[in-house]
Structure 1
Amino acid sequence: MLNQEIERRRTFAIVAHPDAGKTSLTEKFLLFGGQIQVAGAVKSHKIRKTATSDWMDIEKQRGISVTTSVMEFDYRDYKINILDTPGHQDFAEDTYRTLTAVDSVIIVIDAAKGVETQTLKLMEVCRMRKTPVIIFVNKMDREGKDPFDLLDELEEQLLIFVRPLTWPIESGPRFKGVYNIYGDSLNLFQPSKQVVTERVAVDIHSDDLDKHIGKPLAQKLRSDLELIDGVYPAFDVNEYLKGDLAPVFFGSALNNFGVQELLDCFVEIAPSPRAMKAEERVVQPEELKFTGFIFKITANIDPNHRSCIAFCKVCSGKFVRNAPYYHVRSKKTMRFSSPAQFMAQRKQTVDEAWAGDIVGLPDNGTFKIGDTLTEGEELHFKGLPSFSPLMFKYIENADPMKQKQLGKGIDQLMDEGVAQLFVNQFNGRKLIGTVGQLQFEVIQYRLENEYGAKCRWEPVSLYKACWIESDDAEELDSFKKRKYQFMAKDREGRDVFLADSNYVLQMAQNDFKHVKFHFSSEF
């Protein structure tokens, strides 16, 4: 039973540069899974009744994804868990952490823009973790680069072998459809966001093809396909599963075109849940005992209740509602009476979940990102980094009557890992560090709209925050004394040195040989 359930699980993330069409693709998957009735609701304010994966107000106003949404649905005999990640680089940390909780990844590329910087960074994380990758080239119904040029660019920039499994017939206004190499059928394009286009089974070498797309295009398609077979090796599933080969699909997510081919092929070839590395040992998904880790915390999924949800990835065994589980960091036993699974914002209570599933656990401050739950074993799952922030501002209370709300809001938002909080030891002021400017706006907006607290930002000129440690207590002590004005504590109470320039940091590293400076909180 356990193995059957694990085999039918597919847990993956959709990642892309902003505006490549990631949320539209997620939405079409949900359409096929029968989870939403009307597509095209992400940008439209008229259609409020649909479920979309961007549910925070700020996301709807700006048309960007700010946090990772978790959605699950059934398709054919498979149970699919999608994690839709923010594409905007200011929220990259959320995406890096999400990639630790998935077994495979779909990368969305804009046909006109090709590979963009954010995509390169995400691909690095996939390469590091050997995560299998499928590439979807989107927006074929607009003018874009030549498909062969795109394939070269993907190989060169993403450093991975590629193999097209569908092939476009023209692009832009002349776009006629895609030929499904994996399934040997022709799909003719009819621009419509609501219906699924017709498929025609054709023999590629017969006159039948000429009837459907005209003789010149038919000839071009035949020669393209010959070229593909000549240049690219035949598709090998094992190479894909090892993370060495990326299958490529073409289509238009907005017009629901080429998406079903991607989904059909994906459920067949994508890996079921894989083994996870803990510090103590490797955990196999088919083990009988439950283990899981928290990779994300979201505050205010329901604005009427000030509650947080901790997202737990089940790594092995079966999670059961109300069963006692051991929280490794706090050494306490906990029971969860209302664990939930999500369809974007709609959530339902679940009685059980299997390896590969993502369960939302109600959290009133007991969890931190990276916490492990087991049936009693001391395990620590690793690989959930916090990087040194790039931008810093002091956060000040703008409404003295709302001090308590502000405190609670900052605490909950920091638990989410949106940004990092440091307290300056010299003046006791709170300092927020982020990866990008947009995060300050999101924090301010959410404090006001979700907690009723107003904050004010004050600029501070800092170069880097580094976590410091040393085996030489005396040297560490004299470093802290000398740098008293620039010392802070993070939320775990660890020492952080706030260097105001690269020069100051280098001097400190030279003067204090026995003090170690870390630029990520994983050490």
Structure 2
Amino acid sequence: MSTSPAAEAARRRTFAIISHPDAGKTTLTENLLLAGGAIRAAGAVRARGENRRTRSDWMKIERERGISVSASVMTFDHAGRMFNLLDTPGHEDFSEDTYRTLTAADAAVMVLDAAKGIEPQTLKLFEVCRLRDIPIVTFINKMDREAQDPFALLDEIGSKLALDPAPLYWPAGSGGRFKGMLDLARQRFIPFAKKGSDGTDEGHPEPVALGGNSLAAFLDEAEQAEVEEGAMLVQEASKPFDRQAFLEGHMTPVFFGSALRHFGVDQLLEGLGEYAPPPKGVPATRGGEPTEVQPGDKEVTGFIFKVQANMDPNHRDRIAFLRLASGKFSRGMKLKVQNTGKQISVNAPVMFFASDRELAEEAYAGDVIGIPNHGVLRVGDSLSESGALRFAGLPNFAPEILQRVRVKDPLKAKHLAKALTGLAEEGVTQLFRPDVGADFIVGAVGQLQFEVMADRLANEYQLEVIFEPSPYAEARWLVAERADLEDFANKHKMQMSADIDGQPVFLAKSAWEIGYVAERYPKVRFERSKERA
């Protein structure tokens, strides 16, 4: 039975998970996959050595450090819906990768540590969601550890994020006193079971009705009174959950639980299926005229939001992640790249399960497919059957740290150029080639990116490199009429460079210097970000 692109898109839920490092995002990702039936056992996060690898943290440095630095995609079918889970880097040095991943998401799950509440990185990521009008579901994690008062956590969401929190559940205690939570809509209690003293884990008991005698097996009279009073107070103090207010970005449904103990995760997944939006229309231009691409449109369209090299070390592959915006995609289809006019036959598209993958025979709006290619596709490219459609580009931001890079073995200089270009095309770091001199300048948001880069150059390209301080502190893209640009470049030859697209970039020793030079050359614009043309 064939279904329409609109009907298939309507059952898609494409969401990202955002959090401060250590809030439990990777554990929650794994347990959502377990709840969705996509994996059979959770807990690899706590194991040692090689087993410490979770399904979404596949890069060697991620396994060694226990952090996420590369966005992953995982697709699974559950309860009649197709979920595309986009796991974002948890480390702030990789915020640009996160920003791009959020362009492919229709909703976000914000994970908060119950003891710490909203942390600086959470706030930054939330601002990105707000910029993109992405509705947010809140999961307050680690309730089985000592936590802040739940009322204080809700107040913080309201005051720091200017969002109305609407709890759908209410916790009974926290830490050693955590007994479970009330399901406010269904008026039942969901018990939490600690592990046995011998470390055995029998899972959690089935929910029980509030009014029945069974509740006494889990809560004594005082605990019962406390949780019921708390639930009554929060329902009086909070606005009731309104899906429209959530979709418009004014309200966040709040779930409580413990990802590590797989508690509250099933409820979160059910809530995502019920409330998170299916794919919606995406603004674009066709032949220079503004339009909006609808998920049910016949033409297959989409945009590349991420490129990842060497996911499979045995094959020097390069995968472009395509978020589909409309139509029914079928394997073997030909798609055109809007900005280059190149036509590509998509013969081996893949659906992801972290680093595992399988051939995608078909896909619809909301799905993310991987297209193996050798340098043809870049972050920000728009693909469609006609090649006439262009989605808004994904910006590159001016890096915060600039360093020189050179290879220890001078005979491998050519290999270094190729490897650096490949990594820069992924969009995680930026590469500038000075007009004068042979050294490359690499730009990044934070120091960890250089460590990851050195690690990947060694493991994936067998290149031992040295990063050294560069004389530059700032990089700006230059925009001006040709004559004005040439005049400026001739007078600042030593500080001129080109990015991987060949666009002119001015390298400055300080922010003050940029201000000084910009005043003297009013016809030249010094841009902090650029969209790939």
Give the structure-2-normalised TM-score: 0.94
1:342 aligned to which of 347, 352, 356: 352
- The amino acid of 2:210's aligned partner reads D
- 2:121 is the alignment partner of 1:118: yes
* Whole-angstrom distance in 2 between the partners of 1:122 and 1:380: 26
Query: C-alpha separation between the residues in 2 aligned to 1:340 and 1:62?
Result: 28
Worse overlay, 452-461 or 22-31: 452-461
Counterpart of 1:295 in structure 2 is: 305
Displacement after TM superposition at 1:223 (Å):
1.2
Q: For 1:479, give the aligned amino acid.
A: F
| CA positional deviation for 1:46 | 6.0
Q: In structure 2, which of residues 242, 247, 262 is the aligned counterpart of residue 241 of structure 1?
A: 247
CA distance in 1, matches of 2:183, 2:265: 11
Separation in 1, partners of 2:152, 2:113: 13
**Alignment match of 1:83 (pick from 77, 82, 86):** 86
Residue aligning to 2:156: 153
Match of 1:71 among 71, 74, 95: 74
Say which of 198, 210, 231 aligns to 1:203: 210
Out of 8-17 and 208-217, give the one that drifted further: 208-217
After the TM superposition, which of the residue ranges 170-179 and 276-285 deviates more from structure 2? 276-285
Identity over aligned residues, as a percent?
43
- C-alpha displacement at 1:442, in angstroms? 0.3
Distance 1:163 1:518 in 2: 41
2:18 maps to amino acid: V
1:457–1:46 Cα change, 3 Å: closer
Number of residues of Structure 1 aligned to a counterpart in Structure 2: 521
How far is 1:307 from its partner? 0.7
Select between 176-185 and 222-231 the one with higher mean Cα deviation: 176-185
Equivalent-residue separation in structure 2 for 1:169 and 1:432 (angstroms): 51
Matching residue of 1:450: 460
Shift in Å at residue 383 of structure 1? Answer: 4.7
- Listed as ranges, the gaps of 5+ residues in structure 1 are none
CA distance in 2, matches of 1:435, 1:397: 22
Matched with 1:250 is 256
The CA distance in 2 between the partners of 1:287 and 1:224, in whole Å, is 48
Kept in 2, the 8 Å contact 1:467–1:518? The answer is yes
Selected match of 1:42 from 32, 36, 45: 45
Aligned equivalents of 1:476, 1:57: Cα separation in 2: 43
Counterparts of 1:303-382 in structure 2, within 5 Å, are 303-382=313-392
Determine the C-alpha separation between the residues in 1 that align with 2:340 and 2:379: 13
Change (3 A) 1:194 1:423: farther
Q: Give the aligned partner of residue 498 of structure 1.
A: 507
- Give the 3 Å change call, closer, same or farther, for CA 484–195 of structure 1 in structure 2: farther
Residue by residue over 1:287-308, the C-alpha shift from the partner in whole angstroms, topping out at 9 and shown as x without a partner, is: 1110011000011111011110
Shift of residue 208 of structure 1? 5.1
The answer to whether residue 430 in structure 2 is matched with residue 420 in structure 1 is yes
Change (3 A) 1:513 1:403: closer
SS at match of 1:36: coil
Change (3 A) 1:483 1:49: closer
**How far apart are the structure 2 equivalents of 1:207 and 1:383?**
59
2:283·2:391 contact (CA, 8 Å) conserved in 1? yes
Structure 2 counterpart of 1:392, from 381, 386, 402: 402
Amino acid at match of 2:225: Q
One-letter code aligned to 1:418: V
After superposition, the CA RMSD in angstroms is: 1.7
Structure 2 residue runs without a partner (length 5+): none
Please identify, of 457-466 and 229-238, the stretch whose mean Cα deviation from structure 2 is larger: 457-466
Partner residue, 1:222: 228
Contact 2:52 2:63 in 1 (8 A): no
Match in the other structure for 2:448: 438
Distance 1:345 1:136 in 2: 26
The ranges of structure 1 where at least 4 consecutive aligned residues each deviate by more than 6 angstroms after the TM superposition are none
Deviations 1:456-493 (A, max 9, x none): 1111142311111113x443333222222111111111
**Equivalent residue of 2:271, what SS?**
helix
How much has 1:399 moved relative to structure 2?
A: 1.6
What is the SS of the residue equivalent to 2:530? Answer: coil
Helix, strand or coil: the match of 1:253?
A: coil
Mean Cα deviation higher: 334-343 or 324-333: 324-333
**Counterpart AA for 1:439:** Q
SS at match of 1:367: coil
Equivalent residue number for residue 507 of structure 1: 516
Supply the AA of the counterpart residue of 1:399. Answer: D
Q: Is the 8 A contact 1:314 1:356 kept in 2?
A: yes
Cα offset, 1:402, TM superposition? 3.0
Q: 1:409: Cα distance to partner?
A: 1.9
Aligned ranges 1:182-193 → 2 under 5 Å? 182-192=185-195
